[in-house]
Each structure stands twice: as structure tokens, then as C-alpha cells.
Chain A
Amino acid sequence: MSVSRREFLKTCAVMSSVPMVGLAPGVAAAQAPKKGGTLRVGFYIEAATMDPHLSGSKVDRQVYHNIYEPLVTLDTKLGIRPGLAESWSQPDPRTLVFKLRRGVRFHDGTDFTAEAAKFNFDRMKTEPKSVRKGEVASIDSVDVVDSHTIKINLKRPDAALLATLTDRAGMMISPKVVQERGAELQRNAKGAGTGPFEFVEWVKDAHLVIKRNEGYWNRQGGPYLDRVRYRPILDDTVKLQSLQSGEIDVMDYVQPRDVAAVKADKNVVVLDVPSLAAFAYQLNHQKPPFNNKALRQAVAYSLDLEQIVKGVWLNVGVPANGPIPPTSWAYDKSIPYIKRDLAKAKARLAEGGKPGGFEFTMTTANIPINVQEAEVIQAQLREAGITTKIKLVDAATQLSDGNSRNFEMISYQWSGRPDPDGNIYQFFRTTPGTSLNWSGISNPKLDELLDKTREVSNQAERKKLYSELIRLLQDELPMVYTVHPVEPKAFSPRVQGYEPIPDGMMRFKDVWLK
């Protein structure tokens, strides 16, 4: 595909206005869904744990969204929809009341009640190994109002909490399973969830199988599939060929380099799912050269994002104007991304006291597309007289270099959160307390804006604040954003009824096999 940004946004809009996208839209609409069959899904890596409260890796969520359910869910436009909670209200900025759905049972047969919901929140906050603590930090306590109503008392207003509860932090596990199974839950989630599919077995390195929940509360639509079988396939090329040869039916991600070839293949259907993700570089504000604002700007003006998106990403993505992805309600399309302007770059260099250019090291994750992007950026910067050395590091080193600010410019890939807060606050608020603020930026105006975005709950007003923030970030440049990637997913033509949600999670409730 070769789309301009406008066309891309149009595509997003079209996709979201057709809620049940049949993969070959015209054909699929004509047929009625059919029960049965096993869906074979290829993933890039093995899941880490089946306990959503202890999970720190993205791939786990792919499975969770089929066996567990959060209190609230996302729609294709990232709006919040009822999930296990039928409705919610906010009597004051520090209180959130959820009316829970009646007649929902965990797979182990126990009822989902207000007590169970409270149990889950308490566990997230107190379990020593809980990875959810940060996400539920604004929650002070949870009260059981009646058998199906809970009241969440907040320490401070938190406009982003509802969006946070659409994922792991909002997922409900059977208290009985947690108590009886203990640590074993990490690899055996039998009976633990309420979702459209039940956990069957997980043979590590081989497969993870879930089956249809015959007693699923939602009688509309699916689940149709008998089973879903997840398989880790560590290599993208291999995974793609497995799909082409019919060994799997679904793959989670197609590399940009393969997209053109796959789209030409009649045995494969590709769906461009716009993501929440962003590729960027953090600039270290606490030491030379990038403690100098003019030099940061010189770098930004030297980059040709259009060329990067076209040459490296092969148009499987759009140039980024900042941390908010085009899929978000907070995205402001009137703010252009920073355009290449070598004259301005030269002027900024002179202003920063380096008219002849300067030299710095670019730390980059050792992943093919990152390396390619780094090489292109290196060439672009050279044209502005800026010399870069590329230092490739593995993921663990990248994180430790970032956390300890042992870098000048470092690649940063963020998978994105549905609420803009998750893509912004932790990166730019003055430390301590914000662990993703690798750049070390500390700017009073920015801090003030950031705090305001959390207190205001009116969406239109928040959007205005975020637009102001994006402009400030484009000037201060704690991070240079390059691209919001599209995350194409590929399917066998048999697969029908898949609904792409921009969080990239594959929910198979309404999917069926032709």
C-alpha cells in the first residue's frame, strides 16, 4: 500500500465505521457465521505468565483478552464500552462507581460479584509480586456497595484510570482459583476467567490452547470457534511462511518489508491495523550535547520523516508529530510533524555554538528495523554536518542505559496506551516518580500542563491541553518522534469476523472459520 497520511486516516475512519470487518468485506457480509473449528495463531514469542496481575510482557495480553475480561473495554475508536461493568458513574472527581453485570460466572462456576472485584483490586495493590501496582496507584480503596456495585475511592483525580481498566488492571480473576492454586496460576489458568474462551492447556515452547466457553454470558455473536491454538514462532520470516503454507491461520504482525509481497499473495489476507505505538528517540537533557536546546532542534530539523516512513517503513506507518497516535481521540491533525529544513538546522547549530556540526552517539536496539532506521538517520544527519556513531545494544542493555541515563540519544519504542496519559505523563513529568523519563527533562510549564491533564475529565478540554503539550514538546524536544507504525495482521482467507482494535490485541470472540 502506498498512502499519504490523509488517506491513512481515512482508512482508519473507514475501518472503525464498519464495526465487524469481514476480512474480504464484500464477501464476508453475505455469509452467516458458523460454529466450529480450531484457529491456529502464530505469535512472536511465548507467553510469560497466565496471571494478569503478575504479567509484565505484552504478548500475555493477547491470550488474556480471550480468557479474561476487564471491567470496561475498548471499541475501534478507543472509546470506552461496558465490559464486566454494565455502567459507571463519577459522582465526584475522586469517586468512581461501577455497576457490575449480573449473571456472569467464572469458568470455575463461581459467580462474579462485587466481592470478587474488590478481591482483585486488593490483590493488585498488595500482592508482593504484583506488576499492576503502578497502574492502580491512584486507587485508595474499593468499597462493596451491594452484591453488584463497587465504589472506587481515589487518592487524586485520575482521568486516565478508566482507560487503564480496559486492560490487565481491569481484568477479573476468580478469587477461588487464586486462593486454591497460588503460584500455579502462572501457568495454569483453568477456571480463572470469565471470557468467551476457557483455558485448556499450555505446553511451554509448543502451544497454548483455549476452548469455547459454552456458558458465556453474552449471547450475541460468538464465540464460534471450538478452540484457539497459539504457537510461538520466533522468526518473522518463518511465521509468514507458515501462514502462506497454511500451517497457521493468523499471525500477529507482518514486517513492513514483507507487506507488499503478502498483499500480492492470494492465500493471505492482510489487515492494516493502526496501532497506538510510536518509534522515537530520547535525547539526554542532562549532559552535552543535548542539554543544549538548539542542538536538539538541529537534530529534529535534519530528520526527514517522510523519507524514513517511505524508505524504512515502506509506508507501513505515518510520520509522527508527537506521542499521540492518529488513532486517538486526542490526536490533533492540525499540528504538522517537524519537517526537514536544513537551513534551519544549520541556523540552530550556529545558535548552539556548533556551526561546524558536532558528533554524538546514537544507542539503538539491535532489531533489524531499528538498525535500518538508525542507518538512514545517520545519513540524514550527516547532510546537516552532524556526525553520529551507532551503538547497537540488546534490549536489556538498552533499558539499563536508559534508566541510568547512560546515553546521548537512544531509541525508544513504546507500544502505546489507549489513553494519551499513558503515552505522555510518565515520559515527561519531572523525576523522581516517572521512570520512563529517560531524557531527564524537567520543565515547570510542562509539569503544570501534565498535572492539569489528569485533573480535567472533560474530553474536549483534555484534548486542548494535549495539543498545547504536543506543541511544547516539539519545541523542547525531550524526544524526537519518527513514526506511528501500522501493525498489519495477516490471516488465512478462511478467517472471518475479526474486529481490529488499535491496541493490537486480537479478540477472537466473533471470529469464525469459513
Chain B
Amino acid sequence: MAGSIPESAFADRAAALAGAAAVSDRRWDALRRAARARLAPFGAAVLIAALAVALAAPVLAPYDPYAQDLGSALQAPGRAHLLGTDNVGRDVLSRVIWGTRVSLVAGFVSVAIAALAGSLLGIAAGYSGGRVDGLVMRVMDAVLSFPPLVLALALGAVLGAGLTGVLIALGVVYTPTFARLMRGQVLTVKARDYVEAARALGAPAWRIAWQHVLPNAAAPIVVQASLSVAFAILAEASLSFLGLGIQPPGASWGSMINAGRGYLQQAPWIVFGPGAALFVTVVGLNFVGDAIRDGLDPRLRG
């Protein structure tokens, strides 16, 4: 929760920091579960719709998202262009539809990178203990003590503008959350009798990790990942808003909002279309993430 305010996109990454606050969050969760009866289906619907739109973009989009028509730039929403046109006369709706792909890819891939890298680091740290543990966790602390957006900006600048750079940058920013989580799981599992017995019998480390640690740690990692996707989408939008991310003429919701920023007076619809898409998707994904948490995390169930 801590650190969520300046750039709300990075909220959950920082949530790992204020572990103590989570104690009283259980109340919150109880309530959310009660409300979920209605919200989870909504979230699922949003997610399915977003996936469908992303997949069927070529069919759904009324226009070529790249086709310019300078003569009809900045047209207000109307029958020809349901969400209006942008500063070079492209159809905003078509670009919002194609932008869904970018946003979903950004959300899922960057979290996948973070989950994978974080898990491996967490296992290495937790299992080896001692110096390796100290080193890995200090590096994670160092990453966490950067202002996240500035870190992502700097990484983006190093990696070069483009979606790949942003995916990696976000992956790095989110990695410590997963590393901490995984390390905690490893330490818990390692202390269990059967694992100690296996170690005493000389089972190799990788097999213990594979057979005992992973199955136990999978659930919390999946929960964390599902909650992170929504925020990763927001983060990608924030970075695109600052000019990193997908390169023109490609469209992501964040870059569209950025391009429309200068036209707020003349053509606010350039911002409204992608803004609404972004907001609805993130809310929906949050509901889905909550539902997954309830389904998988035994401690929170019931």
C-alpha cells in the first residue's frame, strides 16, 4: 500500500513493503468477498471482453488504425467516427481497439517476467541462505528504494524506447515483490520436517525446489501475479504517457492519452476514449485478481 499514491500504478509493488498493514486488511477482504458475488462476474466479463477485442481487433475495428486523413483531423465523435478522430485524422475507436492488444501484452508479459525472475531469485536466496541470500535481498532492497517510475524511466532510456524496453523495465521494477514472496515461501517450506529429511538424505537442491518448494509457493505467486497485471497495465500506460513504450504509429492507451494531452481544449475525445478503456479494464482486472486470490489462497478463505 505504501508508495501507492504518487503513481498509483505502482501500488501493489509497494504493498510488499508494508506487510504489517496487511494484517488489518483481512477485514477488507471479508467485505470484498461479500461484494464479490456481483463484482467477480463483472470483472470476468471485462477481462473476457478485453481478450476478445484484442484477438478480434482486425475484425472489430471499423477503420485501419493507422490510416490518416489530415483533412478530417480532430473530428468530434459522430456517426462516421464513434469516438472521433485524432490529430492526424485517425479513427480513435479503431486505435482504442488495437491498443487493447498492447495493454494486455504489457500487463501479462511484464508480470510474467517479474514472476519468473523474482521466483528464481527468491528460491536462490531462500535456499542458499547466508551470503547469497544477503546479496540477493540487498539488491532487491536497492531496487525497491528507487522511485519506481524514475527507475522505469531510466531503464527505458537505457533499453531504448519501444514496447520491449518497457516490458523489461516493468519486469525489473516488479521483480523484488516476487523475490520477497518466494523467499518467504522457501524459508517456510525449508523448515518443514519432510524437506529437512529429504535434504539429510542428500537429495539435490533443484529436486527439492521442484518437488517441495514450487508446489507450495505456486498459489501465492499466482495470486500476486493476478493482482499485479492490472497495475502493470497502468504502469505501461504511465510510461507511454511519458513517451516511452510503443513507438508511433502504434497505439497504446497511454500513448494515445499523451498525444491527446495538447488537444484537451480542441478535441478532448482523443483522451476520453482510451481513458475509459483503461479505467474499465483495470477495475475489471482488479475484481478478477481478487477472485483468484480467494480461490487460491487458503489462508484467506472462509
The residues of A with any CB-CB pair to B shorter than 8 Å are 236-237, 255, 257-258, 261, 307, 310-312, 366, 368, 371-372, 374-376, 378-379, 389-394, 397
B87 touches A392 (CB 8 A): no
Within 8 A of A (CB), among B70-94: 70-71, 73, 87-88
Whose C-beta in chain A lies nearest to the C-beta of B160? A391
Q: How far is the CA of A374 from the CA of B243 in the complex (A)?
A: 14
B266 touches A390 (CB 8 A): no
B262 touches A390 (CB 8 A): no
B161 touches A379 (CB 8 A): no
A368 touches B247 (CB 8 A): no
Partner of B249, one of A237, A310, A375, A391: A375
Partner of A257, one of B68, B70, B157, B262: B262
Q: How close is A64's CB to chain B, nearest CB, in angstroms?
A: 30
A391 touches B247 (CB 8 A): yes
Q: How far is the CA of A261 from the CA of B259 in the complex (A)?
A: 19
Q: How close is A476's CB to chain B, nearest CB, in angstroms?
A: 29
Q: How far is the CA of A368 from the CA of B249 in the complex (A)?
A: 13
A310 touches B248 (CB 8 A): no
B88 touches A237 (CB 8 A): no
Given A311-B73, A366-B243, A378 contacting B249 (CB threshold 8 A): yes
Q: How far is the CA of A374 from the CA of B162 in the complex (A)?
A: 16
The residues of B with any CB-CB pair to A shorter than 8 Å are 66, 68, 70-71, 73, 87-88, 157, 160-162, 243, 247-249, 259, 261-266
Partner of B263, one of A257, A307, A312: A257
Given A379-B66, A389-B247, A390-B249, A371 contacting B262 (CB threshold 8 A): no
Whose C-beta in chain B lies nearest to the C-beta of A371? B248
A376 touches B259 (CB 8 A): no
Whose C-beta in chain A lies nearest to the C-beta of B161? A392
Q: How close is B256's CB to chain A, nearest CB, in angstroms?
A: 12
Given A366-B161, A368-B259, A392 contacting B88 (CB threshold 8 A): no
Given A237-B264, A376-B70, A378-B249, A391 contacting B161 (CB threshold 8 A): yes
Partner of B70, one of A237, A307, A374: A307
A392 touches B262 (CB 8 A): no
Residues on the A chain within 8 Å of B249, using CB: 375, 378-379, 390
Residues on the A chain within 8 Å of B264, using CB: 237
Partner of B265, one of A261, A311, A393: A261
Identify which of B88, B157, B261 gathers the most chain A CB atoms within 10 Å of its CB: B88
Q: How far is the CA of A219 from the CA of B167 in the complex (A)?
A: 64
Q: How far is the CA of A392 from the CA of B66 in the complex (A)?
A: 17
Residues on the B chain within 8 Å of A391, using CB: 160-162, 247
B161 touches A368 (CB 8 A): no
- Could you jot down 22 A-B contacts, CB within 8 Å? A237-B261, A237-B262, A237-B264, A255-B262, A257-B263, A258-B265, A261-B265, A311-B70, A371-B248, A372-B88, A375-B68, A375-B88, A375-B249, A389-B247, A390-B249, A391-B160, A391-B161, A391-B247, A392-B247, A392-B248, A393-B161, A397-B157
Q: How far is the CA of A258 from the CA of B70 in the complex (A)?
A: 17
Q: How close is A420's CB to chain B, nearest CB, in angstroms?
A: 32
Given A366-B161, A374-B248, A392-B161, A379 contacting B265 (CB threshold 8 A): no
B266 touches A261 (CB 8 A): yes
A236 touches B157 (CB 8 A): no
B70 touches A310 (CB 8 A): yes
Whose C-beta in chain B lies nearest to the C-beta of A380? B68
Given A390-B249, A392-B248, A394-B157, A257 contacting B87 (CB threshold 8 A): yes
Q: How far is the CA of A376 from the CA of B71 in the complex (A)?
A: 12
Residues on the B chain within 8 Å of A397, using CB: 157
A371 touches B73 (CB 8 A): no
- Taking A366-B243, A390-B247 as known contacts, 20 extra A-B pairs with beta carbons closer than 8 A to each other, sorted by chain A number, are A237-B262, A237-B264, A261-B265, A311-B70, A311-B73, A312-B88, A371-B259, A372-B88, A374-B248, A375-B88, A376-B88, A378-B248, A379-B66, A389-B247, A390-B248, A390-B249, A391-B161, A391-B247, A392-B243, A394-B157
Residues on the B chain within 8 Å of A394, using CB: 157, 243
B68 touches A376 (CB 8 A): yes
Residues on the A chain within 8 Å of B73, using CB: 311
Residues on the A chain within 8 Å of B243, using CB: 366, 392, 394
Partner of B262, one of A307, A366, A368, A389: A368
Residues on the A chain within 8 Å of B247, using CB: 389-392
4 smallest A-B Cβ distances: which pairs?
Answer: A311-B70, A366-B243, A392-B161, A390-B248
Q: How close is B165's CB to chain A, nearest CB, in angstroms?
A: 11
Q: How far is the CA of A257 from the CA of B262 in the complex (A)?
A: 8
Q: How far is the CA of A236 from the CA of B263 in the complex (A)?
A: 11
